[in-house]
A and B are shown apart, each in its own frame.
Chain A
Amino acid sequence: MPPVKSWTDQRIENLLANLLRAGVLLSALVVLAGGGIYLFRHGQAPVEFRVFRGEPADLRSLHGIIRSASQLHARGIIQLGLLLLIATPVARVALSIFGFAKERDGTYVVFTLIVFSVLLYSLLGTT
């Protein structure tokens, strides 16, 4: 492997690592903020995770979560933070497409596009 190539690989990887760290930090802050409001408002309520009921519709879809969070519902804000967290690896894959394209590595652009489509399908696809 020529030295120039490995340097590019290393640079992409460093960029990706920083992106991951920033994404996790941002989502943790949003979850923390939402969690604070949630415990302040509902801290005295009884615990109810023993029986599975599933989440309400507005905490299950992209659209619903954004609407719920914008109305400053505590659970909506936490869910928005979690959505940011799930989006972080997806953004990493998206950036890798760009990185492999810059290296003119067609095979890996295709591989990365496949992974990216699977992730998008899971996130946006069937309910």
Chain B
Amino acid sequence: MNTLEFSLLVCGCSLVAGLVGALTGLGGGVVLVPLLTLLFKVDIRYAVGASLVSVIATSSGAAAAYVKEGFSNIRIGMFLEIATTLGALLGANLAARVSTHAIAIVFGFVLLFSAYFSRKPRTEAERAIPPDPLATRLRLNGSFPDADGVRNYNVQHVPAGWGLMLGAGALSGLLGIGSGAMKVLAMDQAMKIPFKVSTTTSNFMIGVTAAASAGVYLHRGYIDPGLVMPVMLGVLAGSMIGAKVLIRAHTKWLRLGFSVVILLLAIEMLYNGLSGRI
């Protein structure tokens, strides 16, 4: 296989990953690294670098659509970005110190979590919780348009959410993923922010978090232009197409199929990490 064939093939696969990622709302980043390392035999450090850059592209590209819906909360986003960027810096520095086997194993567990998370039924957030003094002081509480008019929400457990975000940032920096699932978990479950607000705010934060570790990756020589080029262009094109057809698609079966793929990749990743092949 020469460089031209390799680039076209990688671009095609990345396009599918980006498309399915956008349609299912799970993001394409989580399958990119396993795809590159398991299928194309790319060194995991190059794969992580390419994935991280693509995450910035899809997050920033999709942000425009989300913001217009008026769901994302810019204050929650900025306050939690302090945690995610610090975590990302930590994770990116950790990536250079731990072995590639360890990265593969951690990746496997994160994939398992993502597969589980994508199947978990959504619980409707409790309404009318009294405001938390810290959240009020930080002006995190907000409102969003709902079926029955404007709905207000009060943010809870700010320190716990902040801590989880530090972890989400570290995973993002270590594995080159957006770690959107963990960000949503921190906001939706711990901080009791409505699901729609959580997902859109998480998307808004992903680009900034990834940029924090991208600098470290660039200096370390993990970002190879020849590899990132087809990955980034493919994922970006896929996610843009995905955002366009989102309304028409039947996402239920797609989500199920995608979570099965993630589960299989998790097993493969764990096996390769534990047996020392990666």
Chain A positions within 8 Å of B, measured between CB atoms, are 1, 9-10, 12-14, 16-18, 20-21, 23-24, 27-28, 31-32, 34-35, 38-39, 42-47, 49-52, 54-56, 59-61, 74-76, 78-79, 82-83, 85-90, 92-93, 96, 105, 107-108, 111-112, 114-115, 118-119, 121-127
Contact = CB atoms under 8 A, between A and B. Distances in A.
A38 B229 contact: yes
A14 B74 contact: no
B224 interface: yes
A92 B56 CA distance: 12
Residue of B42, B53, B212, B222 ringed by the most chain A CB atoms within 10 A: B212
Contacts of B53: 82, 85-86
B63 interface: yes
B35 to A, nearest CB: 13
Interface of B is mostly: helix
Interface residues of B, number: 65
B16 interface: no
Contact of A78 (B70, B211, B225, B236): B225
Contacts of B66: 17
B221 A54 contact: yes
A47 B232 contact: no
Nearest to A55: B221
B82 A93 contact: no
Interface in B31-80: 40-43, 45-46, 53, 56-57, 59-61, 63-64, 66-68, 70, 72, 74-75, 78-79
B230 A35 contact: yes
Contact of A85 (B57, B64, B68, B224): B57
Contact of B74 (A1, A43, A54, A96): A96
A124 B216 CA distance: 9
Nearest to B1: A47
Residue of B59, B74, B207, B225 ringed by the most chain A CB atoms within 10 A: B225
Contacts of A45: 2-3
A108 B78 contact: yes
Given A59-B225, A82-B53, A122 B230 contact: no
Contact of B75 (A47, A50, A85, A108): A108
B225 A82 contact: yes
A13 B144 CA distance: 14
Interface stretch (B84-92, B121-129, B247-255): B84-92
B86 A118 contact: yes
A111 B85 CA distance: 12
Contacts of A12: 74
B118 interface: no
Given A39-B3, A75-B226, A96-B78, 19 more contacts: A17-B64, A17-B67, A24-B236, A31-B233, A32-B233, A39-B4, A43-B3, A47-B1, A49-B227, A51-B43, A55-B221, A60-B218, A60-B220, A79-B225, A89-B59, A89-B211, A96-B74, A118-B85, A122-B211
Given A9-B74, A61-B219, A119-B208, A86 B225 contact: no
Contacts of B75: 108
A24 B78 CA distance: 20
Given A20-B63, A50-B41, A111-B79, A86 B215 contact: yes
B245 interface: no
